[in-house]
Structure 1
Amino acid sequence: MLKNKLQNNQLTVGSWITMGNASVVEVMATAGFEWLCIDMEHTSIDLSTAKMLITTIQANNMKALVRVSKNEEVAIKKVMDMGADGIIVPMVKSKEEAQMAVDFVKYPPTGKRGVGLYRAQGYGTKFEEYKKWVEEEAVIIAQIEHIEAVENIEEILSVEGIDGTIVGPYDLSGSMGVPGDYFRDDVQEAIIRVKNACKKYNKPYGFHVIESDPSKLQSRIDEGCTFLAYSVDFFFLGDMAREGMNKIKEGLK
């Protein structure tokens, strides 16, 4: 179970879905990912498509996470009611914002989520079971992608209900004035601060490895990452196509 792995700080590897097609999920499922994250922040995936993707991911024995568009009550409530196994919340920069994310996932008295009946609650037939499930198994990941989040990382990790972190290297570097240049020393120092805080609080240190090169993922495993997003659907597709065509073109010279 994903929640147990996060609580025990065990390695778990998933990937990122940006294309709103069930076939993409079915192909990705053959690779052995434990979870897939549907990106609703930087893509054209809408709620109807997200529901279809959640269903397809779960039907292929993976956990369905959603990176919501923002840390906002309705955005989170809708994907949870559609049956998502958890959320990745972008731009969490403070303890208060981390608490907001927990409140929008959990029902009272733990949180402040409004109660509705939809797919997650068995269309009204399994509310009691779902209420228990939310408390015990729903996953909430804070995305650390701003220098303010780095400065407040220990307070963020102290919030009950935050299951782990995932560093967003592009936005983090952008918040430091160097978008995309996340191998700079100052950006790397910020990332190390996050890693050290996660170790101190025994919370999963996560990272989105953008590249499809597996050695890049291995290097993050070696440095202690336990919640890892491995590349993106379009990089797996595009990188293999480009690599193959480059070899063909070289052979024709």
Structure 2
Amino acid sequence: MGSDSIHNASEAVSIDNSAISNIVREVVERQLGTTGQPRPSAPAECDLPNAGTLKEKFRRDEPTYGMWITLESPSITEIATRMGFDWIVIDAEHGYLDMKNVMEHIRVANLANTPILVRISEIQKGLIKRIMDVGADGIIVPHVRTAVELAEAVSYAKYPPEGSRGIGAERATRWGAGIEQCVPRANENSLVVAMMETVEAGEAIDEILDVPGVDAMFFGLHDYSATSGYPGTADEPPVIERAMEVQKRIRARGMPSGIVAWEGEEIKKRLDEGFRMIGLGFDTTLLIKAAAQALTAAGRKVPASAWW
């Protein structure tokens, strides 16, 4: 490299360094002002009232309608929130969503002020803590069998003294800036929903309903049927009769309950049975159903299914 090239390169570096210095100086001056004293910062805000709005609807015995998300794109959650669903569930039990996928769905729902829950894959302290840390309004606990299992899950989702959740500088606390504002309100506003999808849970329903910190029960009739000896179906009369007996006991205790319902008549029936957390479907099943209806309207044959 010749002397002129070296000189030009040195001059460019000097200019770049000068520009960087000016930027840093401007940032510092904006932060400190001309007095050199730090400017007061605005208090950190929390999205925690999102869960509180759903709890309030439960207290008023008001029907709520939600959608289950299984696909990666957060655009699906954005569409769901714009359509006016009362709540969103991210299904992290089945499928292949990773923590980054889950967080992006949560971020979209938070911005839309829509309560968002995550169905976890298992009762595991580190998993539940991370789900809550990235901003979920609550968790849905699958395959509950006993009150002891459910109490363990509640503990992992709640800060002391009600639980054992650790305090971290993540989204839920505005990366630590909102610990003083967010943590004291978190236990009251977060949600824990237990899945009623095993015969064992039905038999232990009174003990399960006694667990502090549980906000609702959600029926999974396919798994409930499977544990009853009827895999692959959700409408066998003996199973439905047994499940509705459990639902009556839940309703009598004043606990909100949920279930998936697809069509108008089924929705009305479930509301009459006392369900107040109605899942109107999964993203995949709603897409498949809409596609099947569109193809049928166009004169194409589609595979037969119980969904349409």
Q: Give TM class, smaller chain.
A: over 0.9
* 1:204 has 2:250 as partner: no
Shift >6 Å, 4+ stretches: none
Structure 2 counterparts to residues 150-189 of structure 1, below 5 A: 150-189=202-241
* 1:219, distance to aligned residue in structure 2 (A): 2.1
Q: Deviations over 1:95-145 (max 9, x none)?
A: 101111110111111111122221101100111222222221101000010
* 1:24 has 2:76 as partner: yes
For the Cα contact (< 8 Å) 1:169–1:180, is it kept in 2? no
Unaligned runs of 5+ in 2: 1-52, 302-308
Q: Distance in 1 between matches of 2:127 and 2:163?
A: 16
Q: Distance in 1 between matches of 2:246 and 2:107?
A: 33
| Letter matched to residue 148 of structure 1 | E
**Per the alignment, do residues 114 and 61 of structure 1 end up closer, same or farther by CA in structure 2, a change over 3 Å counting?**
closer
1:142 aligns with 194
**Per the alignment, do residues 245 and 104 of structure 1 end up closer, same or farther by CA in structure 2, a change over 3 Å counting?**
same
1:9 to 39, 54, 61: 61
1:195 aligns with 247
Q: Distance in 2 between matches of 1:215 and 1:109?
A: 45
For the Cα contact (< 8 Å) 1:7–1:203, is it kept in 2? no
Q: Distance in 1 between matches of 2:272 and 2:129?
A: 36
For the Cα contact (< 8 Å) 1:9–1:202, is it kept in 2? no
| Letter matched to residue 131 of structure 1 | V
Structure 2 counterparts to residues 37-56 of structure 1, below 5 A: 37-56=89-108
Residue 174 of structure 2 aligns to a residue whose secondary structure is: helix
* 1:75 has 2:127 as partner: yes
2:266 to 193, 199, 216: 216
Q: Distance in 2 between matches of 1:9 and 1:241?
A: 35
* 1:200, distance to aligned residue in structure 2 (A): 1.9
* 1:98 has 2:150 as partner: yes
| Letter matched to residue 237 of structure 1 | L
| Letter matched to residue 266 of structure 2 | K
1:85 aligns with 137
1:239 to 267, 284, 289: 289
Q: Deviations over 1:63-89 (max 9, x none)?
A: 111001112211211110001011111
Percent identity, aligned pairs only, is 33
* 1:31, distance to aligned residue in structure 2 (A): 2.2
Scaled by the length of structure 2, the TM-score of the pair is: 0.77
For the Cα contact (< 8 Å) 1:80–1:105, is it kept in 2? yes
| Letter matched to residue 166 of structure 2 | G
2:22 aligns with none
Q: Distance in 1 between matches of 2:57 and 2:209?
A: 17
Q: Deviations over 1:155-198 (max 9, x none)?
A: 11111100010000111111112123221122112211221111
* 1:44, distance to aligned residue in structure 2 (A): 0.7
What's the Cα RMSD here? Answer: 1.5
Unaligned runs of 5+ in 1: none
Residue 219 of structure 1 aligns to a residue whose secondary structure is: helix
Residue 128 of structure 1 aligns to a residue whose secondary structure is: helix
Residue 24 of structure 1 aligns to a residue whose secondary structure is: helix
Q: Distance in 1 between matches of 2:248 and 2:166?
A: 36
Name the stretch that deviates more: 165-174 or 229-238.
Answer: 229-238
- When Rg is computed on C-alpha atoms for both structures, the one with the higher figure is 2
Q: Distance in 2 between matches of 1:116 and 1:41?
A: 24
Q: Deviations over 1:218-248 (max 9, x none)?
A: 2211221011211111122111111111121
Name the stretch that deviates more: 215-224 or 60-69.
Answer: 215-224
Q: Distance in 2 between matches of 1:182 and 1:4?
A: 31
| Letter matched to residue 88 of structure 2 | L
* Matched residue count: 249
